[in-house]
Chain A
Amino acid sequence: MAMDMDRMLKMIKDRQWALADIDWDAPGAELIDPELHARLKPFLSDLMWIENVGARGFAAMAKKAPTPTLKSIYEHFHAEEQKHANAELALMRRWGMLDGDEIPSPNVNVQLIINYLDKYSDGMSLSFLGTVIPMLEVALDGALIKFITDEVKDPVAQDVFRHINSDESRHLAVDYEVMDILGHAEMRKLLADFVGGWLKPSMMIGFLSYMPLLNKMRDNIVDMGVDEQKLFGAMAKYKAVGSRSEYARRLPMFRLVSLHGSWVIDRDNLPYHLVADSLVKLTAKIPFGLVHRTPTWSQELTYEPAA
């Protein structure tokens, strides 16, 4: 049965939480042992920036939304992703990971995606954004948050990630519903949209930024001592849930993103991983200063519950 978007929007509004609702000074910070503390900082920095990337994606999707209700939903999702990033920053602050007012920098691969989205996302079609953003959400956000909730015993963090998870479940429900709606279009239109989208030279830049990001995050997860299967499981979920809808399956871009996901999680696909890992190595050599941009939208991050 089709989702009632008005009801969903009302639910989103009803379930709002704020940083001020969390007691950031409550006991539990001491449960992070020094070894985990050292590993968590870069991990959380990346996670926080990926939330920020998701936020920018939703901002672009709000511009393309076909109805005012869906537009408002995406505007809320945009802000909620920012809230997740803010909350993660506040956790880092709570755990003493930040130096003064420090906002940690993203890694090169996340920065490349930020640069790409900043420049091109508003020009991308809803069917492109609506298939790629869910993959980023389900795979990266989902897997990383899963790791944190498993590993970090601090009750404040547990509380924060419970809120984030419940927001994300609504994001994904809408993501899949929109894929289903988009899939109802005539095949001729879907193909024209797909081909037209890929004819843009900017898409190749996007793909070359997106491809190493997934492998880089896999490396990060492994470095954290986490089984890569957690990431792979999340990526497989993207395909499995999307494939349940006969209409989402009709979206050429969904097929492509799913196919790409299956390459990522197939460690035996040597040619792909050779290319992707080379790109990770190559991008790691890029001096950060060369790609570092801080568009205004990425400067809104704050750990302060009140401003």
Chain B
Amino acid sequence: MTIAVAVIGAGFAGIGTAIRLKQKGIDDFTIFERGDRVGGTWRDNTYPGAACDIPSRLYSYSFAQNPEWSHTYSASAEILDYIDSMVADHDLARHIRFGREVTGISYDEESGEWTIRFAGRRRPVTARSVVMASGPLANPAMPDIRGRDDFAGHVIHSARWDHDYDFTGKKVAVIGTGASGVQIIPHLVKQAASVKVFQRTPGWVLPKVDLETGEFTKRIYRSIPGAQRLARAGWFWGHESVALGVVWDTPLTRAVEALSRLNLRLQVKDPWMRRQLTPDFSAGCKRLLMTSDYYPALQADNCKLVTWPIARIAPEGVRTVEGIEHQVDCIVYATGFEVSKQGTPFEIVGVDGRVLADEWAGGAYAYRSVNVEGYPNLHVTFGPNSGPGHNSALVYMESQIDYLTDMVVHLEHNGWKALDVRAEVQERYNRDIQKRLASTTWNSGCQSWYLTDDGFNSTMFPGFATQYANQLREVDLRDYRIRVHADAAAPAVGPTVSVRVPTRG
């Protein structure tokens, strides 16, 4: 039996897609999740201090607002609870199949269906549409350091935290000082006997003012939904204005840097340490770090910042190029994720046997970050060039979800076989995106996970979140090649065919 929609992944994107599908009257869908519970990256990232650096009011769906957020910026457990509550509120549990790791999908032109294969299961599933909601932050990245497997002590990756390991009295090395590193380190410093922080590149750090939300405020949010929308809009436009300094290199970028330098100056006394912690790239080129307790933790008596390059990992610790072996009991890798800029998480075979990973070998691309020509009815959440540098990922995700679920509705309601973006439309779109990216901070010369080794930017969207959302506001069917089943009449697609599908609920 063929289902209407197969959603791969039960993280934020998968759950959001499911809610919107239901709200638009599509109930024939299944979410395939390789883990044993929902939550995606928030299920995996449970390290001490794990929290979002976008305010919760904004880091949540506008169609599933939550008046109960306890702080301005929520910790991972609370975000996970929120995802659970969405599953419960929208009766999604019956749509989710856990323990289903997708190994490959392929398109059959004849039937217009996708076949989805799973690890350890002989029977594949067929679906008319597939939503790739597997997310960019799904697989932990381990750094390419010599002798990494030689270490005889305990090893933990931030995205697979070992809650049974007791850090009390232990000597710990933390490799990586990105978004997760700066959250973990202050907690480890409180617990461990000593913490050595191995930094390769310092990031721009801004203070994070994380206030508790009082009961009175929550009551207002509960009773007046408009108040929540207003607060959310305030956060949205506040972040949106930051784009002027973070997305493009402008005088505002210097202002962000000045604020960060002032923060550094106020929090770190030693000039050499300040020098070690001062980035030499434009703010925004890499992800801005939001933390108020990282610098104090680095200066704690039991903490040491090590900026020497790592020569290798030895059985007893980390050897750095100044010739010293930093012996530790445990190495914590806060080295982020394998963000796919070129490959695909599993084999995707489209029309004429085309393999998406081959086509993306030089850098991934898509139309409006959601569709790729030659892969009909396949939709990607957080696809190529959809990354924000200044605003909530969920704002972007919500637009993608609305767009792709509208396409699913078009397909299902009209009984069409396939919607495949036109090659020339996709090419024009990407030419424009790359042209616009050339003048952004991300392409200003620093190395980051946004870029491929060749410097191609396939991850970020070069503009405001508002611009991103606007381009996805409506599906213009003229951009797509519509295929119909053999016995159906050809559709009449004119300039007025772009119809917003009304939502229920």
Residues of A within 8 A of B (CB): 13, 16-20, 63, 68, 72, 75-76, 79-80, 82-83, 86-87, 122, 295-297, 300, 302, 304-307
Per-residue contact bits, chain B 250-277, to A (CB 8 Å; 1 contact, 0 not): 0000000000000000000011110100
Nearest to A304 among chain B residues (CB) is B324
Give chain B interface residues in 416-456, CB to chain A under 8 Å: 447
Please indicate the chain B residues that have their CB under 8 angstroms from the CB of A297 in the complex.
272
Nearest to B280 among chain A residues (CB) is A63
Interface centre among A16, A17, A86, A302 (most CB of B within 10 A): A16
B275 touching A305 by the CB < 8 A rule? no
B323 touching A17 by the CB < 8 A rule? yes
B270 touching A307 by the CB < 8 A rule? no
Which of B159-167, B237-245, B311-319, B340-348 forms contacts with chain A? B311-319
Query: Which 9 residue pairs of A and B lie closest in terms of their CB atoms, listed nearest first?
Result: A79-B321, A83-B323, A296-B272, A16-B311, A82-B322, A19-B323, A79-B322, A79-B308, A306-B325
Nearest to B327 among chain A residues (CB) is A306
CA distance A304 to B280 in the complex (A): 32
A300 touching B322 by the CB < 8 A rule? yes
Please indicate the chain B residues that have their CB under 8 angstroms from the CB of A63 in the complex.
280
B317 touching A296 by the CB < 8 A rule? no
Would you mind naming 15 contact pairs between A and B with Cβ atoms under 8 Å apart? A16-B311, A18-B319, A19-B323, A19-B325, A20-B314, A75-B321, A79-B322, A80-B321, A86-B323, A296-B272, A305-B325, A306-B316, A306-B324, A306-B325, A307-B327
Please indicate the chain B residues that have their CB under 8 angstroms from the CB of A18 in the complex.
311, 314, 319, 323-325
Nearest to A296 among chain B residues (CB) is B272
Give chain B interface residues in 287-328, CB to chain A under 8 Å: 308-309, 311-312, 314, 316-317, 319-327
CA distance A231 to B273 in the complex (A): 36
Please indicate the chain A residues that have their CB under 8 angstroms from the CB of B280 in the complex.
63
Please indicate the chain A residues that have their CB under 8 angstroms from the CB of B309 in the complex.
72, 75-76, 79
Q: Least Cβ distance of A59 to chain B in Å?
A: 8
Residues of B within 8 A of A (CB): 146, 270-273, 275, 280, 308-309, 311-312, 314, 316-317, 319-327, 447
Q: Least Cβ distance of B286 to chain A in Å?
A: 13
CA distance A87 to B323 in the complex (A): 8
B322 touching A16 by the CB < 8 A rule? no
Q: Which of A72, A80, A295, A305 contacts B324 (CB 8 A)?
A: A305
Given contact pairs A72-B309, A76-B309, A79-B321, a sample of 4 additional A-B residue pairs in the complex whose CB atoms are under 8 Å apart: A13-B311, A122-B275, A305-B324, A305-B325
Interface centre among B316, B323, B327 (most CB of A within 10 A): B323
B325 touching A307 by the CB < 8 A rule? yes
Q: Least Cβ distance of A44 to chain B in Å?
A: 16
Nearest to A90 among chain B residues (CB) is B323
Please indicate the chain B residues that have their CB under 8 angstroms from the CB of A87 in the complex.
323
Q: Least Cβ distance of A115 to chain B in Å?
A: 13
Q: Least Cβ distance of B473 to chain A in Å?
A: 40
Nearest to A298 among chain B residues (CB) is B272
CA distance A80 to B322 in the complex (A): 5
Please indicate the chain B residues that have their CB under 8 angstroms from the CB of A306 in the complex.
316-317, 324-327
A20 touching B319 by the CB < 8 A rule? yes
Q: Least Cβ distance of A81 to chain B in Å?
A: 9
CA distance A283 to B308 in the complex (A): 34
Please indicate the chain A residues that have their CB under 8 angstroms from the CB of B326 in the complex.
306-307
CA distance A179 to B26 in the complex (A): 67
CA distance A83 to B311 in the complex (A): 12
